[in-house]
A and B are shown apart, each in its own frame.
Chain A
Amino acid sequence: MATLEQVSPIELIAEGRHVRSESQFARGLRLLRRDYLTLTAMAILLILSIAAVGAPLFTNLLGLDPNTTDPSIRFQGIGAPGHLLGTDNLGRDQLARLMVAGRVSLGIGFFGAVIALSIGTFFGMAAGYLGGAFDDFIGWVVTTVDSIPSLFLLVLIASVLTPSATTLVLVVSLIGWTGPTRLMRGQTLRLRSMDYILSARAMGASTLRIMFVHILPNLFSITVISLASSIGGLILAESTISFLGLGVLPPEATWGNMLSNAQDMFRRGPHLLFTPGLMIFVTVLCLYIIGDGLRDAFDPKSQK
């Protein structure tokens, strides 16, 4: 879904499709520029993302390998020479592992959220616009999936799939699509009753054309706004699954399975327990703050 990145609402609106929207966007930017909490969260997340995406490069530069074991330097504490964040039970460098793990965790969260939001946008729009039996069917599926507590659903799906980063993207997107579907359905219902849709229909536009040309662009802004919180929620879900031992399998590191691995090392390596969880916490917190900030700045409904 490269379109999500390329055609942001920012550009759509900046193209001048709606004069009112443009001012709304400018207003959002102005609000955002003064929202130091959100800006700080963005900066921290940017640093984390760069460290994660460039992990192979940085670990090479530092001369560290996340999977090299060295029994002579097991359980080094934070600040050990050559190992800034210490080493784990096999003598692997914790910092290098955290960075590589971040790549997996952030990647799963990001792609999971993109897939979940795409599914949600598509089905929500179709259900909202078409109504009738299709709407009832989608409503039934969403209610069904939602009535299984998401952790049990995650566990159930994870138990039948062979765990890997790719399947985990699927697993988390399968639980993450119901919320966006509800949201987009509601939005579509609102848009459907607007005059410009009526006029498009009067001019003989086909159902598909109305959905994809007239409604979809107006859903993009909400999609992008909800992306941040979605990624946060799915990173939490992924780390829980990996922590329970049903996610990505060692030696490939994710923050969740690093914690799972360190679970019984309370006395020998407390730093191994501390750092992966802190990374999850900070990442998710930043994403939630950014999500809230973007919503406050750009969502017309939240403007007072």
Chain B
Amino acid sequence: MIRYITRRLIQSIPVVFGITILSYLLMTAAPGGPVNALYFNPRLSAAERQALGARLGVNDPWYIQYLRWLTGDDWMRRDTDGDGVADTSILIPLDVDGDGIPEPPGEKRGVLRGDFGTSFTARRPVLDVLIERLPATLELGVSSLIIGTTIGIVIGIVAAVRHRGWFDNLTRVLAVVFDAIPVFWLGLMLILFFGVTLDWLPLQGRCAVTMDDSCPPAYLRLQYMILPTFVLSTGLIAGYSRFTRASMLDVVGEDYIRTAKSKGLKDRAVWFRHAARNALIPIATFLGPSLTGVLGGAVVTETIFSWPGVGRTAIAAVTQRDYPVVMAVTIYAALATIFGYLISDILYGIIDPRISLE
């Protein structure tokens, strides 16, 4: 087991590496160039920008720049004797701008150590901005995952039990419908119906406006959570119900089900104790894709419902060209996805003894 997990972890290193290269390359293509995108306060004058650029190493070859972005420069130009002036350096020169004075020691810790720099708009470390927004996203994401998975699995089992019945046909049609329906439109239609026409639920937001921008615990503001949670979980419900149904129908053909039936067991016992238990095993593999779906869906859902989470922050960051935030969100989303796939593979191995992990 440990060997398998280690191997899977090692296998994901090239992918993580690829993600950083891809994001870095995209950012160097950003309008204004990588200097603006990655290091700079956009309000500097052109001359200051150039001087700062030289000191920050824009004239270095691209691989040094990438390495600096990835791993930081605190190890590249160091101050060993503690007088505040850099005295040793590797890969990059001590004095870049040629004025005879060594540059100050490096302070960046690099993306790999969670240093995405400073947000242009919030003027705070990117990580602080994101951590502040994380609870709202988690609240929405976790509740959608739980609700979507439960409803999806139940629908899938019932549809398989009533194979070719009206419920089965209905769920198959609905699964296609919910695949094709644009999430943002579904959200807007629900707001229009439940919020405007019926006036039952609030139109948007995480809670009623408060003085200090904080929200009471979730159970006191369920009316705010109903619509966004439902919208975010539709994709999961469609996916899980289809997957569970297919898996159940696979299992039903097995000999042990025939045995159970011929023993005279009640239908209910056969379906739920024998079939469902085994049919649910492959569903562990669905955790990775569903995490991706929730992460992507959260961006759209949070935008429609003005939900103050990471996704909405990301969209705001794109429109304001706040590249450090965009980069950080993308890379964290990718890491979460890789982690999700890893967990589902490991879970699959633990639950199903027939899967050999070696």
Contact = CB atoms under 8 A, between A and B. Distances in A.
A181 to B, nearest CB: 15
Given A149-B292, A149-B295, A267-B196, A281 B337 contact: no
Interface residues of B, number: 51
Interface string B186-215: 001101100110000001000000000000
B326 A159 contact: yes
Contacts of B189: 273-274, 277
A32 interface: no
Q: A143, A144, A162, A266 — which one has the most chain B CB atoms within 10 A of its CB?
A: A144
Q: A148, A155, A287 — which one has the most chain B CB atoms within 10 A of its CB?
A: A148
Given A152-B296, A157-B26, A159-B326, A281 B196 contact: no
A207 interface: no
Interface in B298-318: 299-300, 303-304, 314-315, 318
A150 interface: yes
A27 to B, nearest CB: 24
Contacts of A281: 180-182, 185
Q: How large is the interface on A (under 10, 10 to 19, 20 to 34, 35 or more residues)?
A: 35 or more
A259 B185 contact: yes
B100 interface: no
Given A152-B333, A159-B321, A232 B188 contact: no
Nearest to B191: A266
Contact of B318 (A159, A267, A274): A159
A246 B318 contact: yes
Interface string A257-285: 00100010011001001101110110011
A57 interface: no
B185 A152 contact: no
Interface string B9-28: 00000110011001100110
B330 A243 contact: no
Given A147-B334, A148-B333, A259-B185, A285 B176 contact: yes
Contact of A141 (B18, B192, B314, B321): B18
A244 B300 contact: yes
B184 to A, nearest CB: 5
Q: B203, B296, B327 — which one has the most chain A CB atoms within 10 A of its CB?
A: B296
A173 interface: no
Q: A155, A243, A289 — which one has the most chain B CB atoms within 10 A of its CB?
A: A155
Contacts of A270: 192, 196
A160 interface: yes
Given A149-B292, A244-B315, A266-B196, A156 B330 contact: yes
Contact of B184 (A152, A240, A287): A240
B326 A155 contact: yes
Given A160-B26, A160-B31, A280-B185, A245 B333 contact: no
Contacts of A243: 182, 184, 300
Contacts of A152: 295-296, 299, 314, 329-330, 333-334
Nearest to B297: A151
B283 interface: no
Nearest to B339: A147
Contact of B303 (A244, A274, A287): A244
Contact of A277 (B185, B300, B323, B330): B185
Given A159-B318, A245-B319, A267-B196, A288 B334 contact: no
Contacts of B192: 266, 270, 273-274
Interface of A: 140-141, 143-145, 147-153, 155-162, 232, 236, 239-240, 243-246, 259, 263, 266-267, 270, 273-274, 276-278, 280-281, 284-285, 287-289, 292
13 contacts: A140-B18, A148-B19, A152-B295, A152-B296, A155-B326, A160-B27, A236-B180, A240-B300, A246-B318, A266-B203, A270-B196, A281-B181, A281-B185
